[in-house]
Amino acid sequence: MQRIDGHVHLEHGPICAEYIEAFVDAAQKQGLESIQILDHTHRFKEFHPAYRSVIEADPTQAQWLSGKGKFQDSLRDYLALVRAMKQRSWPLEVRFGLEVCYTPESEPFLKEICRGLPLDFLVGSVHSIGGYLYDMSFSQPLLWQKQPHSAIVEQYCECVLKSVQSGLFDQIGHPDTIKMAASDAVMDRKWISRIALEAKCRGVIIECNTGCHWRYAHPDYGLSADWLKMLADLEIPVITASDAHDPCNVNRDLEQARARLLQFGVRCV
C-alpha cells in the first residue's frame, strides 16, 4: 500500500517556496512516498464567480467569504510558484493541484477557468447544497433546521454524482463528508454505488479523507463502512488524504485509515 497524503492545504500560510518546503519536510519525516499539495479555490480572486450562489443565499455566508484569506491571492502567483517548484528535485513525489468547490450552477464557469491549468490534478469537492454551506457553525439554522435531513442528503448525493460526471476532476474530495453535519446524514448505498461506478468508468479517484475524524471528531477514519464495502466489491482503489491545513498535520490518522482499508480489502492508488 503506497504511503501517500493526497490532500494537504497551503491555506494557513503564504504562497511561497518556504511553506511548501515545510510540508515536504513533514511528509519525509512521516515516511511518505508522495504528497499532493493544493488549496481551496476560494483563496483566489479569479474564482469569485464560482461562489455567487453561496454569497447570494445568505448574508452570513457572504460575510464568511469576505473574511481573511478569501479571494485575496492571485491564481497566477500560485501557478508561477508551482512552475518553479516543479523544477526542483524532491526526496519524494510532490504533486500540485487545486481543491475546486463544485456546484452544478457553477459548472460552466469552472470548465472555462480550469481548462488547461498547468497542474498535476484537480480535486472536486461539494461544500454547499442549493447555495447553503452544510458544515459551518451557522449551517444548522440556515439549512439543517429548515429542511428534512433526508432531502439535504439526497441533494448532496446528486451534487457529488454531478461532480464526477462533469469531467472536470481527477479526484473527488471527501465524498461522504456530509455525515459530520448530522447523525442521520447517512448516504444510501444506492447513491454510493452510483457515484462509485461513475468514478470507476471515468477514472476518477475517490478520497479516503481523515479530516472528518480529526477535525470534526467523527468516528470514521475516512470513508464510512458502507463506502468501503462498496469500493471493495467493485474493486475501486482510493487515495488516502489527511486534509491537513498545517505541516504538523500531514499524514494525520492515515495509519489508522490504511489499516481500515486493508481490513475491508480496499486498494490504494
What is the full per-residue pLDDT of the chain (269 aa) written as tens digits? 789 999 999 999 999 999 999 999 999 999 999 999 999 999 999 999 999 999 999 999 999 999 999 999 999 999 999 999 999 999 999 999 999 999 999 999 999 999 999 999 999 999 999 999 999 999 999 999 999 999 999 999 999 999 999 999 999 999 999 999 999 999 999 999 999 999 999 999 999 999 999 998 999 999 999 999 999 999 999 999 999 999 999 999 999 999 999 999 999 99
Phi/psi-derived region of residue 259, left when phi > 0, alpha when psi is between -120 and 50, beta in every other case: alpha
Say if strands 171-172 and 4-9 run parallel, antiparallel, or are unpaired: unpaired
**Residue for grid cell 464557469:** 109
Give the max Cα distance, the chain: 52
- 245-250: long-range contacts at Cβ-Cβ below 8 A with a sequence spacing of 24 or more? 245/8, 245/9, 245/11, 245/12, 246/12, 246/13, 247/22, 247/23, 247/25, 247/26, 248/26, 249/8, 249/214, 250/5, 250/8, 250/23, 250/26, 250/27, 250/30, 250/32, 250/35
Q: Rounded to two decimals, what is the model's pTM?
A: 0.96
